[in-house]
Amino acid sequence: MAEPDADHRMAALFAGLRDDPAPSFTGPGPDAVATIGRRRRRVRRLTVAVVALVLGVAGGVGVRALEQPETLRPIQPPPPSLSPSTTSPIPSGSPSSPSADPSGDPTSSGSPSASRVTTLRATDWGNAILNVPAISTGCDAGRLQFSGGQASVEHPRYGRLRYVLPAPGRQPVYGDLDGDGRDEAVVSVGCIATESRPGAPIEWMYAVVAYTENEKGGPRVLGTVRVVLPTTSGPSYRLVDGVVVVEPNLVNDGSVSERYRWTGNGFQKA
C-alpha cells in the first residue's frame, strides 16, 4: 500500500529538520547597533543643517525686503505725458477782457474800438472816450466819446453842444503834478452851443484839465486847473517843476501868465 510509505517519509523529513544543527537567527550585535546609531545621528545633523540653511536664506530675503520695500512694490506705470494744448482765446465778453471801469471814471480807450490804454502818453486824446468836468453853464460834466478831436451831446435845455479836445493848436503836456513819480497829463477842452438859445454858451468856453492814470493806465480826472471864459484862441499852458503855467489869452487882456499847483484836493494859484 502506498499511503503508509508516504506518511513514513514525511515523518522522517520533519525529524531531519528538527535535528538540523544550523544556528538560529539572532539580532544585530553591539557594533552593528553603534554603526546604525552613528548613521542616524549624521542624517539628523545633515537634516538640521539643511533646514537651518533654508531658514537662513529665507530670513535674509525677508530682511532685504524690509530694508528695500520698493523691491516688493508693484511697478507703477509712468504718468501719461501731457501734450501741449493751444490756449483758447478769451471771449470778448468774459471777465478777463478789458472793459470800462465801473467806478465813476472808467478807463479811457485810445480810440472807440480799443480795449485799454497802458499809459497816458499812449492816449489818442482826439479819439478817446473819457470824462470831462463841467466847464460852464450848459457845458456840464459828462462822459464823452471824441472822434477826430470833436464830440457832441444833446442838452435838454440848450440843444446840441459841441466839444473839442484838445483846443485847436494845443497839445497835451505831461509831467508829475502830485509827486507820485508818475506823469499826469494837462489838456484843454472847449465847449460851445450850436444853437442860439437863452443862456446857452454861444461863445467858446475852455477848461484846462489835468488827468492822472487810473489803475488800468487810462485817464482819470485829477482836477480842473483853470476855467477860461470867452477867448480868442483858447488858453495856452505848460509845466514847470510840477506847476501848471496857464496863459488864458482873454479877449482884450493881453498875455498874462498864471501858475497853479496841485494841493492834494485841487489846484490853487502858486
pLDDT tens per residue across span 21-35: 555 545 566 776 677
User: What span, in angstroms and rounded, lies between the C-alpha atoms of 188 and 94?
Assistant: 35
Residues of the chain with pLDDT under 50: 1, 25, 61-63, 65-74, 81-118
Nearest CA-CA partner of 179 in 241, 87, 90: 241
pLDDT at 48: 72
CA distances from 82 to 78, 85, 142, 213, 244 (A): 12, 9, 52, 42, 59
Burial level of 82, CB count in 10 A (0-12/13-18/19+)? Answer: exposed
Domain-located, residue 237: no
**Cell 471777465 found at:** 95
- What is the predicted pLDDT for the residue at 19? 62
The C-alpha atoms of residue 57 and residue 71 are separated, in whole angstroms, by: 17
CB contact at 8 A, 249 and 215: no
Structure-block grid coordinates of residue 161: 453842444
Indicate whether 185 belongs to any domain.
yes
**What pLDDT does residue 150 have?**
97
Q: Is residue 165 part of a domain?
A: yes
Query: Distance (Å, rounded) from C-alpha 181 to C-alpha 242?
Result: 11
Q: Is residue 110 in some structural domain?
A: no
Residue 157 falls within a domain, yes or no? Answer: yes
Residue 109: per-residue pLDDT: 43
Asked whether residue 216 is domain-assigned, the answer is yes
Q: How far is CA 214 from CA 40, 48, 122, 130, in A?
A: 104, 92, 14, 12
In a domain, 224, yes or no: yes
CA 109, CA 106: separation in Å to the nearest integer? Answer: 9
State the DSSP string of 99-117. ---SSSSPPP-SSTT----
Q: What is the DSSP string of 174-217?
A: EE-SSSSSS-EEEEEEEEEESS--TT---S-EEEEEEEEE-TTS
How much is the pLDDT for 83? Answer: 43
Identify the pLDDT of residue 26. Answer: 54
The pLDDT of residue 58 is 57
Segments of the chain assigned E as strands: 129-132, 142-145, 150-155, 159-164, 173-175, 184-193, 205-213, 219-228, 236-240, 243-247, 258-262, 267-269
Q: Which residue range is the domain that position 169 belongs to?
A: 120-228
pLDDT the model gives residue 186:
97
What per-residue confidence (pLDDT) applies to 199?
84
pLDDT recorded at residue 98: 35
Would you say residue 160 lies in a domain?
A: yes
- How many structural domains compose the chain? 1
| pTM for the model | 0.56
